[in-house]
Amino acid sequence: MARIALLVASGAVVAAALPSPGLFVAIGLGIAAIGTGWLAFRRPGPGFARLAGAAAVTVGALGCVLGMLRVALALAAIDHLDRLLG
């Protein structure tokens, strides 16, 4: 479970750097990584699995925030163009 969570979290950070649909994929994968990382963290087991779950939550949150930042920048650019043209 922890390795899957880390894989999803890495995908979220990579998707944040991709063109147009990447920002929405980053938000979705970030939320999924937070959820799976939390499940991996709460599961009793060896220390690596819990540490990897906590890392997945952190990296997934970073990917989600980067995706949301790109959405906010796109909306700000659209608003600026609207004020410029009209």
pLDDT reading at 31 higher than 90: yes
Q: How far apart are CA 51 and CA 47, in angstroms?
A: 6
Measured between its terminal Cα atoms, the distance across the chain in Å is 52
Q: What b/e readout covers 49-60, taking b as 16+ CB neighbours within 10 angstroms?
A: bbebbbbbbebb
What is the per-residue pLDDT across 11-21, written as a single tens digit (0 to 9) for each? Answer: 999 999 998 88
Q: Angle at CA 16, nearest 5°, toward 2 and 51? A: 20
CA distance 73 to 30: 18
Which of the four pLDDT bands, split at 50, 70 and 90, describes residue 67? very high
